[in-house]
Amino acid sequence: MNIKDLYDLSGRKAVVVGAGSGLGAAAASGLADFGAFVVAADLNSDGAEETVRRITESGGKAVAASLDVTDTAAVDACAAEHADAEILVVTPGYNARRRLLDTSDDDFDTVIDVNLKGTYRLMRAFGGFMAERGKGSIITFASFRAVVVEPGQGLYAAAKAGVVQLTKTMATELGSKGVRVNAILPGAFETPLTTQIKSDPEWWGAYEQKSALKRWAQPHEIAGAIVFLAGDAASFVTGSQQLVDGGWLAADGRFEPTL
């Protein structure tokens, strides 16, 4: 067996939701680079089209699709249209960075609907078709915030912790059907979702110093984990939580003593 071939995704269709920017765009490009035909889906149609343009200019194959993950009918229709998809990557995220006492029911509903229920809708819709076909890989996006929190991240952390539990549950329910389901937990990545943090130099710098690598990550650095979990190289990996956090959770506290 040639281990290199286990990373080859030629002939497989991958639906990447949230592919219009950030980590979703990087995931779409990475899968296309390894041979997958990518459906770049996003609420932002222009962003999805731009991702497709970059993929095709690099020799890959992709099409764009408009999709609102809060619309159950739209999600079900997308899954039916791409019932032959072997790979589903779920990246959409929304954060309301406010302390819990300052949040509203609308904040809670939006964060949960996009992050948690949106993931649930997609897993349910695509997972059914994958189970019928007897194969598939679903990759959800949680966050290191599913494990550790900071003031102002409560709603987001709760939603992402829920994503981890949904991922584990579907992994156990669909494993016998040949479908693998894993969660990626990104750390501090420089994306549109972290623009608010970047606007505050003290906040940005604190994040930079907390990881073991002492820096923020760039979107392309998520692609390796995506490609691994998508294909046969991860054929015995399911129900896992893959940290891509630069060693954030490996570090004990924010102080590094001089020894």
CATH placement of domain 9-245: 3.40.50.720
Among 232, 220, 230, which Cα is nearest to 189's? Answer: 220
7 catalytic residue (yes or no): no
Domain ranges for the chain: 9-245
pLDDT tens column, 37-70: 999 999 999 999 999 999 999 999 999 999 999 9
The H-or-E segment that residue 14 falls in is strand 13-17
> Residue 166 in contact with residue 119, Cβ under 8 Å?
yes
pLDDT tens column, 129-143: 999 999 999 999 999
Q: Which is the catalytic residue, given 7, 94, 120, 156?
A: 156
pLDDT tens column, 166-198: 999 999 999 999 999 999 999 999 988 788 888
